[in-house]
Amino acid sequence: MKSLAISVKKRENVGKSSSKALRNQGKVPCVLYGGEKQVSFYAHENDFRKIVYTSDVFLIDLDIEGTKTRCIMQDIQFHPVTDKILHIDFLEVFDDKEVTVDIPVVLNGIAIGVRNGGNLLFRRKKIITRAIPGNLPDAIEIDISDLSIGQFVYIKDLRSDDYTFLAPDNSVVVGVKTARAAVEEEIEDEEGEEGETEEGATEGETTEKSAEGSSQENKEG
């Protein structure tokens, strides 16, 4: 699991007015919980860009004025209009205690089914995963090169002894479904073949009738 060090400052005052003042200065109020006591702190919004604007999950070495704590980002709030960071919750982690994290799914390769005209169905871009910090993967990697049309990868196909997925075994993660255009093209081809057969049969009947007519005229002559 990737790690990142961030230095922050402890908040002397808490409350709405104090939080608003921090945001006006480009700073983000935060809370660390999960340990012996809850700690309120803040840092400039630029210090959090690497962990916020990415799909990667980081194990954070938090330095609160000299006191170091390992944690993960648990929750984040954005302004509904400006999309600025309003608040971040961090969870302190311990080597022997399991944590729950959204782990991103990374697809490798191009599916055979997609090459043949199918559509890729990517249902779960993240999977809720539970494990001790040392066993959490950076990402769940899936090689989809051999996936044909109609084939899918399920949660049960990705199970590991190192971590647990908090999702049903029969949940689809990724697969290749039949493209509508490919189905329509196939139907049109079948209809075309039937038309050619019928047309050939009609021509055969016409030729046969013409031959019978010529034979009859010769007899009468």
Sketch out the chain's domains with CATH numbers.
2-93 (2.40.240.10), 100-177 (2.170.120.20)
Dihedral angle computed from the Cα positions of residues 174, 180, 181 and 184, in that order, rounded to the nearest 10 degrees: 140
Dihedral angle computed from the Cα positions of residues 164, 127, 122 and 173, in that order, rounded to the nearest 10 degrees: 20
Element holding 11 (H helix, E strand):
none
For residue 28 the two structure tokens come to 């983000």
Average pLDDT along the chain: 85
Maximum separation of any 2 CA atoms in the chain, in Å = 122
* Mean predicted confidence (pLDDT) in 83-107: 94
pLDDT in tens, 67-87: 999 999 999 999 999 999 999
> Is pLDDT of 184 > 80?
no
Name the pairing type of β-strands 2-10 and 58-64: parallel
> Is pLDDT of 165 > 60?
yes
DSSP H helices in 25-177: 49-52, 112-115
pLDDT in tens, 8-62: 999 988 888 999 999 999 999 999 999 888 999 999 999 999 999 888 889 999 9
Label residue 207 by pLDDT band (50, 70, 90).
very low
Contacts of 44 (CB under 8 A, 6+ apart): 26, 27, 28
Tell me which DSSP letter residue 137 carries. -
pLDDT for the residue 1: 79
**How distant is the alpha carbon of residue 60 from its chain centre?**
23
pLDDT for the residue 197: 47
- 18 vs 218, which has greater pLDDT? 18
Burial (CB count <10 Å: 0-12, 13-18, 19+), residue 148: middle
Contacts of 125 (CB under 8 A, 6+ apart): 55, 104, 105
